[in-house]
Amino acid sequence: MSSNDSSISKEVAFGFLPAQKSDRVLGFWSLLLIQLGTGLSCFSLLTGGYTGIMLDAKDSIGAILFGNAIPMLLIAPIAVYFARYGVDTFVGFRSSLGYLGSNFLWVLFAVTTLGYTAFTMYMSGQAIVEILRMFHTDNIFTVNSFGVPFFSVSLILLCLFITAKGPVVIKYFNWIGAPAMLVLILVLLGVVLFVQGLDKVFSLQPAEPYETVRRSFSTAIELNVGLAFSWLPYLGQYSRLGKTEKGAFNGGFLSYGIGLCIAAVLAVFMTLLTGSLNPTDWMLEIGGTALAVLGLGLLILGNVTAAIFFMYSQAISFKTVFPKQKWAIAMGTNIPVILLVLTPAFYDSYNIFILFISFIMSVLGGIVVSDFFFVKKQTISVRDLYNTNGIYKYWHGINPSAALSMFVGTVFYWYMYNPWLDEPSYLFYYVTAGIPTYFVTGICYYVSSKFIFITKANKGGQLNIDTNTPGFMKKNL
């Protein structure tokens, strides 16, 4: 391989160039494990925990399965876009949002990713402190106010070091992290089945339900919908390196839409048995010291794996928006997560955080899916994705159809439900907010693109650039 070809391959892995077939190193199992590595971490456990604190086991299972599988069915097809064209999320979304609009999405994505990373690292810091206490260690490192932030920051630095090595190293590391979470789930499942018993679990009542079961059920569904929709921007980051479109779709849906449901349901059982949302409490109360150490160790390893994936996604997205910046600078955008793990109140606000995600990503999901499948009919000009004066410039870099749809979707969601004040409308009790917002926004986008803001970009049949042609890669980018 020539030095020029080598630099191009490096930019594919660490930058924003379209991935050629030779660069697409992730098969179905790799994609499944990578995405399970993020899904089977603290997010599924925390979401399941919040579900179990409001509902009994039977209703919780229904809320989790519906809340995760349906939204993923709605957004997982967008993985086909990135697998087909080999472009990153924030390059691909230029076709629907415009160049500046896609940059605006990156800001939201960066905040979300920093938040997700902070949750994984803070929970891991808690787990390390608990392990030290089990061995009767009594020093400053077992004091929550010091030990948890100290170990959280230490793990952040470790994850930064691993992530800096790139996607190939991350792929191999994941063969350890994702199975670790699977083992943890099997261990806890064994405790439920053979020690506690399902009859006991299904007889327990939630510790902090709302005033009515319907209210608890609708809120629990919305929490799970938020978790499912939150994977939207991450689908492109790994699907672009997928070997096949089918593998990209199946890997995304089976991991985020099905796999993490298992962990979430198990979290419901643990929460009902202990009355606590904290996974570290589950290990201590359900099992003995040996089982608790094993469980917390696996939890730490799984969360570290998830954090590595989020850091890589953060860096890749930065390189997409600022392609001339060095990889080290892109990695540096993860450093603000340290400030979040130094703020314990943030960790305790997970439910509010995920509800805001439900609002934002349901709106964006409706737009990007409607654009690719119904407006542009799966035909994208890759050359114009990289040309800031191309057809995806729209109006000063912003697609007016997307802007209008965002406004309509935002008004509709907040009419249905106020996540900040936890105030639902009457309709929220029956249809919740995230899923109907997705359809309202998608329909609005389609109508606006076809009948109001009619542009060349919004007409089907645009020129399809073959991103696998070396000449395109070298001459046009």
pLDDT in tens, 396-405: 899 999 999 9
pLDDT of residue 472: 41
Helix (H, G, I), strand (E, B) or coil at 210: coil
In this structure, what DSSP letter does residue 73 have? H
For residue 54, what pLDDT band results from cuts at 50, 70 and 90? very high
Query: Cα separation of 387 and 408, whole Å?
Result: 29
Specify burial of residue 324 (Cβ count, 10 A radius: 0-12, 13-18, 19+).
Answer: exposed
Query: Cα separation of 15 and 9, whole Å?
Result: 9
pLDDT of residue 10: 47
Helix (H, G, I), strand (E, B) or coil at 64: helix
pLDDT of residue 16: 61
Q: Which residues contact 249 (CB under 8 A, 6 or more apart)?
A: 76, 77, 79, 80, 83
More confident residue, 4 or 37: 37
Contact between residue 143 and residue 217 where contact means Cβ atoms under 8 Å apart: no
Residue whose C-alpha is closest to residue 64's, from 244, 281, 225, 247: 225
Contact between residue 212 and residue 206 where contact means Cβ atoms under 8 Å apart: no
Within 10 angstroms of residue 398's Cβ, the number of other Cβ atoms is 18
Within 10 angstroms of residue 377's Cβ, the number of other Cβ atoms is 12
Contact between residue 391 and residue 381 where contact means Cβ atoms under 8 Å apart: yes
Contact between residue 474 and residue 422 where contact means Cβ atoms under 8 Å apart: no
* The residue to which tokens 């910046």 are assigned: 325
Please state the rounded mean pLDDT for residues 237-259.
Answer: 88
Share of the chain above pLDDT 70, in %: 90
Select the highest-mean-pLDDT range: 158-162, 277-281, 331-335, 408-412: 408-412
pLDDT at residue 15 above 70?
no
pLDDT digits (tens, 9 = 90+) for 322-339: 888 888 898 999 999 999
Specify burial of residue 29 (Cβ count, 10 A radius: 0-12, 13-18, 19+).
Answer: exposed
Query: Cα separation of 421 and 423, whole Å?
Result: 5
Strands (E), 226-357: none
pLDDT of residue 460: 55
pLDDT digits (tens, 9 = 90+) for 257-312: 988 898 899 999 999 999 988 887 887 787 677 778 888 888 888 888 889 888 98
pLDDT digits (tens, 9 = 90+) for 420-473: 999 999 999 999 999 999 999 999 999 999 999 888 887 655 444 444 433 444
Considering only CA atoms, give the Rg of the chain. Answer: 22
More confident residue, 43 or 447: 447
pLDDT of residue 239: 86
What are the structure tokens assigned to 403, written together?
A: 């802007």
Query: Cα separation of 447 and 445, whole Å?
Result: 6
More confident residue, 195 or 172: 195
pLDDT of residue 1: 42
pLDDT of residue 168: 66
pLDDT of residue 471: 40
pLDDT of residue 433: 97
More confident residue, 233 or 13: 233
pLDDT of residue 184: 80
User: What fold is seen in the domain 22-466?
Assistant: Hydantoin permease (1.10.4160)
Residue whose C-alpha is closest to residue 39's, from 420, 431, 368, 302: 302
Q: Where are the domains of the chain?
A: 22-466
pLDDT of residue 104: 86
pLDDT of residue 105: 87
Between CA 188 and CA 9, with CA 174 as vertex, the angle to 5 degrees is 165
pLDDT of residue 180: 77
